């Protein structure tokens, strides 16, 4: 490829000037000079570097800085940090140099954004370690997270040029950690785009089909919206305030989720879009005007009483404020209407960053979001959690919906949906949680595992004799309660674990087995425990007996690699180096060189030829093949991306693969016979099992059958859909098998 340096230089300067133009309204004093200096350093540091797309590397930090300014609303410090965010990791520049030139704040942010170098202990996760390191800086400066989200957004926008296994790793890490984080910080626009891009790179066919159908329905949607808002506009005009009415379709990812969850085609997703009424109302009259507009809308259209959401009186934990109602339009379709002010709309789109702009004007936004940040800081203080446990705990507190409950004195508390009386007790105070024996909810006595509902008023009952136990962890949902219970149990567990360690050491020495980190990893996998502490605790408690340990020593794991078990292979690169060429026929090619090696098909998603797949190097079962859209993929790839290996089907058809079909329709005599005829007689497909049940004339059937590939499966679905009475046929996965 011939590179025209003059054109490239011109483009770099043009992008830098565009960044300055966007930042101009918030620049003070010498800010422009500092930004120029950061840009000059980054340009020099990355001068010989290119991205996978072939572009100069400097395009990336410039784009990240632009997202920080334009899409999140951050200022000078963040622009400088964004421009420099990769220089310590990728070049000879040190953090001490950045601190000398730009000060401690910028240096701290860049440090938080710099990946940890070096080799990690076997069995841990580099991704989890780096995610934890980045979050530690949240206790000092939330801008680290916001810049990281800008960095991730630009990487997702430019993921096309990356190899397939990298696309899958980055996409799944994004949906597992970064999209929920954007949601929790109130960055709705970024969260939505990250989710859509995830779907694009993991299930392109579904993404393209939904995007095309949204485009096809655009004209009819516009006509419908015009008619819908006409009577409403006339009355809002009478309020004599500025306003605008927007409509936007639901995101591709949310439509895809709804289709999957409800098992319906695109045509049956009725709430494809929301109508948003944005008012230019003074702060002190925001609530009043929003309810007036709600009254106008519901005068013309009948509201669904179960779908009113008042997030103006009680904003969401991420600061989101809006009135939502779903009303019945004249054509018989439900339409969601969102009513908010300009201030609320900016907070809804830009989240945490917009908080600072309105900080002096409203306290309730700050209180909810700041409370969450305080909770995160408490989680971060738990230094003794492994990186994987930390990520799991942290993630548990990201994406949960919320309910609002009250103390006996009427103080409002925000809790995650599914929270119990015990969660609430720990929310009040650790000592109250530790001694909780029950609660009175709305004056009625309930046990500690009682699930709370919106509007409950809760009084906690305690006893000095009460002590926390392991069972409590099963029914608490909040990270705060889980962390505190684990703390309270930990001392006792540590004593028992010490005894367990002595037992294990004795047993292993008897058999002359060396005790090291790899042995612990194999033990954890064999006994299906999440940590070394849990393993030793179970041995100390006698849950894992001497007989069980003997079985472990006798167990010989199968390995895909000659003379080497998979547990000795730390990641996909190591596997690829060990792969030897084979010549026998098979249907799957694996690794950088696309060789044929032994593998197993993952039960959680039952891949078949034609599916987009990836290989995953397990600890003790060799290489397992998963579908790219496997329900377990986000967790596997977010925590263990280094174990991902390329895999691709060839076009051979002689083997059959087990998959499942769900058939829904209206019952009639002879229906099952007609369905099985199409499968076994017309298409000569072998069935493994067939289960149908009917309820008041509606049947629901699940068939496990053997097919050659995705084309074979599509032909079968098409034939079955033509059987009289069949309304819908869809493939299903056997979710639940977590294979790591």
- Catalytically active residues are 89-90
The two three-digit tokens of residue 723, written as one number: 């059987």
DSSP state of 312: T
Residue 587 phi, psi dihedral angles, 5° rounding: -120, 5
Residue 368 backbone dihedrals phi, psi, to 5 degrees = -65, -45
Contacts of 447 (CB under 8 A, 6+ apart): 421, 438
The residues facing 278 across adjacent strands are 244, 340
Any idea what DSSP says for residue 68?
I
Task: List strand residue ranges (DSSP E) for 420-565, in order.
Answer: 436-441, 444-446, 458-462
Give the whole-angstrom CA distance, residue 98 versus residue 481: 40
Tokens of 648: 């691709």
Cβ atoms of 569 and 575 closer than 8 Å:
yes
Beta bridge partners of 560: none
8 Å CB contact between 630 and 154 = no
Give Cβ neighbours of residue 157 (< 8 Å, ≥ 6 apart). 197
Q: Contact, 336 vs 275, CB < 8 A?
A: yes
List the helix and strand counts (H, then E) for the chain: 31, 20
Q: At a CB cut-off of 8 Å and minimum separation 6, what does 528 contact?
A: none
How far apart are alpha carbons 391 and 383 in whole angstroms?
12
Cα separation, 605 vs 634, whole angstroms: 13
To the nearest 10 degrees (0 to 180), the angle between helices 387-396 and 633-640 is 140
Paired sense of beta strands 334-341 and 273-280, if any: parallel
Q: Is 422 exposed, middle or buried (0-12, 13-18, 19+ CB in 10 A)?
A: buried
Q: What's the CA gap between 342 and 344, in Å, rounded? A: 5
61 Cα distance to chain centroid:
24
Q: Output the CA–CA distances (angstroms, integers) from residue 151 to 23, 40, 170, 231, 573, in the order listed.
A: 18, 19, 12, 44, 26
- The Cα–Cα gap between 241 and 236 comes to 8
Question: CA-to-CA distance for 557 and 182, rounded, in angstroms?
Answer: 41
Looking at residue 55, the DSSP 8-state letter turns out to be S
Distance (Å) of CA 288 to CA 237, 277, 282, 660: 16, 14, 10, 54
Q: Residue-wise over 503-541: b if at least 16 C-beta within 10 A, else e?
A: bbeebbeeeeeeeeebebbbbbbbbebeebbbbbbbbbe
Which residues have CB under 8 Å from 84's CB, separation 6+?
38, 41, 42, 61, 93, 98, 102, 106, 110
**Cβ proximity of 423 and 415 under 8 Å:** yes
Distance, in Å, from the CA atom of 448 to the CA atom of 471, rounded to the nearest integer, reads 11
Which residues fall within 8 angstroms of residue 156, CB to CB, at 6 or more apart?
170, 171, 174, 193, 194, 197, 198, 201
Query: How many angstroms separate the CA atoms of 332 and 317, rounded?
Result: 34
Of the candidates 614, 567, 552, 69, the residue with the CA atom closest to the CA atom of residue 353: 69
Name the 3-class secondary structure at 491: helix
- In 217-251, where does DSSP find H-type helix? 218-237
Residue 405 pairs in a beta bridge with: 413
Distance (Å, whole) CA 421 – CA 460 = 8
């Amino acid at each position: 490829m011939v590179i025209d340096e003059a054109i490239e230089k011109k483009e770099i300067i043009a992008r830098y000037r565009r960044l300055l133009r966007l930042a101009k309204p918030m620049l003070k004093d010498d800010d422009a000079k500092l930004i120029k200096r950061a840009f000059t350093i980054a340009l020099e540091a990355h001068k010989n570097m290119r991205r996978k797309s072939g572009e100069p590397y400097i395009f990336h930090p410039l784009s990240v800085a632009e997202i920080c300014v334009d899409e999140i609303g951050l200022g000078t410090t963040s622009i400088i940090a964004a421009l420099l965010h990769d220089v310590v990791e990728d070049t000879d520049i040190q953090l001490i140099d950045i601190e000398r030139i730009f000060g401690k704040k910028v240096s701290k942010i860049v440090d938080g954004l710099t990946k940890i170098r070096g080799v990690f202990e076997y069995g841990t996760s580099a991704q989890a370690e780096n995610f934890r390191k980045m979050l530690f800086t949240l206790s000092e400066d939330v801008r680290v997270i916001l810049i990281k989200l800008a960095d991730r957004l630009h990487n997702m926008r430019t993921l096309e040029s990356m190899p397939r296994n990298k696309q899958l790793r980055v996409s799944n890490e994004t949906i597992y950690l970064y999209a929920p984080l954007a949601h929790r910080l109130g960055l709705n626009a970024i969260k939505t785009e990250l989710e859509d891009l995830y779907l694009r790179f993991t299930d392109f066919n579904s993404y393209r089909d939904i995007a095309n159908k949204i485009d096809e329905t655009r004209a009819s949607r516009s006509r419908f919206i015009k008619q819908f808002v006409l009577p409403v506009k006339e009355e809002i005009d009478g309020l004599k305030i500025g306003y605008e009415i927007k409509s936007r379709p639901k995101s591709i990812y949310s439509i895809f989720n709804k289709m999957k969850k409800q098992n319906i085609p695109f045509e049956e997703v009725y709430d494809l879009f929301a109508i948003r009424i944005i008012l230019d109302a003074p702060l002190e009259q925001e609530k009043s005007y929003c309810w007036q507009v709600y009254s106008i809308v519901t005068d013309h259209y009948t509201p669904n009483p179960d779908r009113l959401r008042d997030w103006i009186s009680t904003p969401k934990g991420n600061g989101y404020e809006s009135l939502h109602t779903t009303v019945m339009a004249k054509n018989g379709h439900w339409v969601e209407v969102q009513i908010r002010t300009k201030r609320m709309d900016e907070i809804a789109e830009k989240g945490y960053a917009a908080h600072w702009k309105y900080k002096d004007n409203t306290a309730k936004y700050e209180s909810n979001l700041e409370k969450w940040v305080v909770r995160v800081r408490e989680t971060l203080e738990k230094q003794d959690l492994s990186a994987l446990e930390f990520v799991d705990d942290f993630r548990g507190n990201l994406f949960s919906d919320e309910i609002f409950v009250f103390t006996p004195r009427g103080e409002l508390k925000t809790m995650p949906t599914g929270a119990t009386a015990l969660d609430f007790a720990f929310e009040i105070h650790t000592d109250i949680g530790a001694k909780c024996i029950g609660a009175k909810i709305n004056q009625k006595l309930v046990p500690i595992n009682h699930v709370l509902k919106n509007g409950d008023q809760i009084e906690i009952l305690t006893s000095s004799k009460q002590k926390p136990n392991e069972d409590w962890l099963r029914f608490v949902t909040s990270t705060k309660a889980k962390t505190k219970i684990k703390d309270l149990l930990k001392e006792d567990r540590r004593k028992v674990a010490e005894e367990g360690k002595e037992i294990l050491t004795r047993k292993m020495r008897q058999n002359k087995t060396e005790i090291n980190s790899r042995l612990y990893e194999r033990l954890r996998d064999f006994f299906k425990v999440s940590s070394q502490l849990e393993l030793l605790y179970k041995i100390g408690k006698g849950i894992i007996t001497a007989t069980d340990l003997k079985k472990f020593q006798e167990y010989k794991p199968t390995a895909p690699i000659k003379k080497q078990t998979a547990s000795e292979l730390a990641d996909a690169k190591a596997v690829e180096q060990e792969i030897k060429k084979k010549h026998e026929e098979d249907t799957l090619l694996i690794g950088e060189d696309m060789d044929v090696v032994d593998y197993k098909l993952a039960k959680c998603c039952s891949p078949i030829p034609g599916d987009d797949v990836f290989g995953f190097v397990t600890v003790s079962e060799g290489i397992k093949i998963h579908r790219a859209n496997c329900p377990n993929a986000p967790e596997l790839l977010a925590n263990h991306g280094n174990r991902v290996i390329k895999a691709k089907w060839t076009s051979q058809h002689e083997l059959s693969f087990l998959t499942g079909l769900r058939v829904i329709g209206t019952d009639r005599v002879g229906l099952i016979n007609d369905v099985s005829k199409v499968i076994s007689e017309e298409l000569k497909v072998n069935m493994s099992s067939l289960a149908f049940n009917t309820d008041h004339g509606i049947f629901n059937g699940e068939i496990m059958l053997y097919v050659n590939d995705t084309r074979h499966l599509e032909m079968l679905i098409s034939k079955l859909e033509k059987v009289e009475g069949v309304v819908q046929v869809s493939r299903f996965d056997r979710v639940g098998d977590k294979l790591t």
